[in-house]
Amino acid sequence: MITINNIHFSHSATSPAVLQGISLQAEQGHLTTILGPNGCGKSTLFKCIAGLWKPDFGEISFNDINILTLTHQQRAKLIAVVPQDHEPPFPYSVLDAVLMGRAAHVGMFATPSRRDRQAAESAIEEVGISHLLHKSYTKISGGERQMVLVARALAQDARAMLFDEPTSHLDFRNQVLVLRKIRQIIVRRSVTAILTIHDPNAAMLFSDSVVVVKEGRVVVQGPPCEIITEELLHEVYGIEVVIGKINGAMVITPHISSESSDNGEEDAKIVNFDSHKNHRKRRLCLT
Amino acid sequence: MTRKTVIHALVLTSPLFIASASLFIGAYGVSPLMVVRSLLYELLPYGSAMADLPEKSIILDIRVPRVLLAAIVGVALSGSGVTLQGVFRNPLVDPFILGLSAGAAFGCAISIGFFPALPVQLSAFLFSIGSVLLAYNIARSQGEVSRLPLILSGVIISAFFTALTSIVKFLVDPHKLQNIVFWLMGSFSLADWHTISVSGVGILIALCPVYLMRWRLNVLSMGEDEAKLLGINVMRDRLIFVVSSTIAVSLAVSVSGIIGWVGLMVPHLVRMITGPDHRTLVPLSMAAGAAFMIFADTVARSITTYEIPVGIITAISGAPFFIYLMKKGGKESWGR
């Protein structure tokens, strides 16, 4: 279980605080999703949990171990991080890329052993990309690359996993496939998992617990079907939405027509941004 | 798999073949038989008649040390080139482009010109580590070093130290000037057993951590944040790699002057053959660097009656190679 207790973060002493007392809990075997609009402090919070940035104060612990005082190597044995999709400078093979997950376990003056290689291969098998083993990591699709990063995190053999917007660069099909696979792994391995995401629908569908963050504070945390309401989403995102039920799942859909109450406000923002575009938009609405 | 093993074995042993061939080539004609006999002389000293022959001394005291030194310098330049490319996650850097060689050259020049008490190697190391740290910090922003800024800051540092070296040349007395100029052009003509036992051994020792830690270059090349997330102490490891390769390069520069492009060209060629995994890339680059250096030096000393500085040979082959990389890599190499 990951417990975060009242962390504060600001980039420098003079700049305003990005995180203002965040507390949350992520249970073992559950997928805990951090949801919030751009600029809410989601990625800052993620970097703090991952150990890249140190909060000004507050505590982050995993199974009662304070992770803020660990070295990178000690922490990497407990928590594996799946970063956003990225382009490496050299075209490593998928196997070599996954093998990097073993870095915390390989001695400083050593190369990966047979055991490390086996761990990498079984991780590749577990996420179902064995056919890519010797393919170049730069020449596979974004969805496949995301799965390689998931396999790398599995090879790391950690009891907690963090996912940084794993679906942000993917098409619809791959978003679903990747999230499904992540869920399956979390349940099977019974790891503690935290995931950040933009899309409230995906958060509703796939997570056990949702933490809604706005302006550096937690608005609410709980099971998605209990806490996510039309009012909450309006409060956090500033747009009117309707929540309905399709096929037993809760689905969020925004208002599209300009008649609804929030659109005046939204239009005003767009005018500031680009008045020309707004004209066109209005014309489309009229016709 | 077996084909791959054969190719790896060929690259690893290539310095031996080229070195053996190189021993038979030279300005002073020594018959092949005589070359073999001279080489065997050390092992089984047959007959004292052999001891006084000039051929023997040409082979054992000139050609053999020279080939060995070329090989070791090739290992240093190519090994540090592949290391710097991995550490800075930039396929377009090498000791020459980063300004490391220019820093080392300035260090050597002031040591020769003004402070004979200061060991050339030490002075070379101090200025080259200074120049690489400068280039790195100029290019660094928000924890990452982008490709183009790093190359540009390397060019700036390089130009700066080259200018300083010119001042030294301008101010120094003419007798020493000749030494500096000759040595700056890059040459192995001063190779002897003493240089090999001091600088050559030093280079090989300095590269030991690079060789042992080579797998970590894979992880480091993923970027600072990712390497940390994977459990690497990025600052410590980067420092070890940069200091080791700087020691190797400054020792190389202090015995042979500035020899550019080897550190860029050889790792690229090897990467094309073996792929980017540093576990094989590092040893194979070192071997191929040695082979290339012996070859270039053999060309330098035998193509005309006068010896051409070997740095000129490597630059003539390196510049077109760099243009080729630029054109071929395009966005891939120059983008962030």
Q: What is the CATH number of the domain that holds A152?
A: 3.40.50.300
What tokens appear for B228 in the block? 């940390």
CA distance to partner chain A, nearest, from residue B166 (Å):
36
pLDDT of residue A119: 96
Low-confidence ranges of chain A (pLDDT < 50): 262-287
A47 or B116: whose pLDDT is higher?
Answer: A47
- Cβ pair A44, A217 in contact under 8 A: no
* A243 occurs within a structural domain: no
The CA distance from A17 to the nearest CA of chain B, in Å, is 19
Helix/strand/coil (H, E, C) string of chain B? Answer: CHHHHHHHHHHHHHHHHHHHHHHCCCCCCCCHHHHHHHHHHHHCCCCCCHHHCHHHHHHHHHHHHHHHHHHHHHHHHHHHHHHHHHHCCCCCCCCCCCCHHHHHHHHHHHHHHCCCCCCHHHHHHHHHHHHHHHHHHHHEECCEECHHHHHHHHHHHHHHHHHHHHHHHHHCCHHHHHHHHHHHCCCCCCCCHHHHHHHHHHHHHHCHHHHHCHHHHHHHCCCHHHHHHCCCCHHHHHHHHHHHHHHHHHHHHHHHCCCCCHHHHHHHHHHHHHCCCHHHHHHHHHHHHHHHHHHHHHHHHHCCCCCCCHHHHHHHHHHHHHHHHHHHHCHHHHCC
CB nearest A89 (choices: B214, B221, B275): B221
In a domain, A201, yes or no: yes
List chain B residues with CB under 8 Å of A110.
212, 215
B70-101 pLDDT, tens digit each: 999 999 999 999 999 999 888 888 888 888 98
Task: Say what the pTM is.
Answer: 0.88
Cβ of residue A15 closer than 8 Å to a chain B Cβ: no
Residue with structure tokens 């020449």?
A139
Q: Please report the residues numbered 71 through 130 in chain B whose beta carbons come closer than 8 angstroms to any beta carbon of chain A.
A: 86, 89-91
Predicted confidence (pLDDT) at residue B19 exceeds the cutoff of 80: yes
Nearest Cα to B258, choosing from B114, B105, B109?
A: B105
- Which residues in chain B are closer than 8 Å to A96, comparing Cβ atoms? 218, 276-277
Which residue do the tokens 């003419």 mark? B174
Query: Which residue from B209, B215, B231 is facing A72, i.e. has the nearest CB?
Result: B231
Q: Is residue B323 within 8 Å of residue B316, measured between CB atoms? A: no
Domain for residue A265, yes or no? no
Smallest Cβ distance to B213: which of A75, A92, A109?
Answer: A109
pLDDT of residue A184: 95
Cβ distance of A110 and B226 shorter than 8 Å: no
Flag whether A25 is in a domain.
yes
- Of the candidates A100, A108, A111, which has its C-beta nearest B222's C-beta? A100
If one counts every other C-beta atom within 10 angstroms of the C-beta of residue A231, the result is 9
Flag whether residue A84 sits within 8 Å of chain B, measured between CB atoms: no
A165 is a domain residue: yes
Q: Please report the pLDDT score of residue A63 as a whole number.
A: 94
Of B91, B213, B277, the CB nearest to A92: B277
Residue A79 tokens read as: 């928590």
Is A262 a domain residue? Answer: no
A72, closest residue in chain B (CA to CA): B231
At B47, the pLDDT band (50, 70, 90 cuts) reads low
State the complex-level ipTM: 0.86
State the total domains in chain A: 1
| Region of poorest pLDDT, from A259-263, B66-70, B189-193, B293-297 | A259-263
At A173 the pLDDT is 93
Structural domain including A223 reads 2-238
User: Is the predicted pLDDT of residue B263 greater than 80, yes or no?
Assistant: yes
Q: Which of B41-50, B193-202, B261-270 has the lowest mean pLDDT?
A: B41-50
In a domain? residue A91: yes
Q: Which domains does chain B have, with CATH numbers?
A: 62-334 (1.10.3470.10)
A277: in domain: no
User: Which DSSP letter does residue A169 get?
Assistant: T
Mean pLDDT of B232-252: 94
Contact A108 B216 (CB under 8 A): yes
Question: What is the sign of the dihedral through the CA atoms of A159, A163, A167 and A169?
Answer: negative
Four-residue CA torsion sign, A215, A217, A219, A225: positive
pLDDT band at B213 (very low <50, low <70, confident <90, very high): very high
Tell me what pLDDT residue A270 has. 44
What's the pLDDT band for B36 if we cut at 50, 70, 90? confident
pLDDT at residue B136 greater than cutoff 50:
yes
Render pLDDT for B97-115 as a digit per residue (tens, 0 to 9). Answer: 888 989 999 999 999 888 8
Comparing CA positions, the residue from B16, B217, B265 lying closest to residue A106 is: B217
Write the DSSP symbol of residue A16: P
Contact check, Cβ <8 Å, B230/A77? no
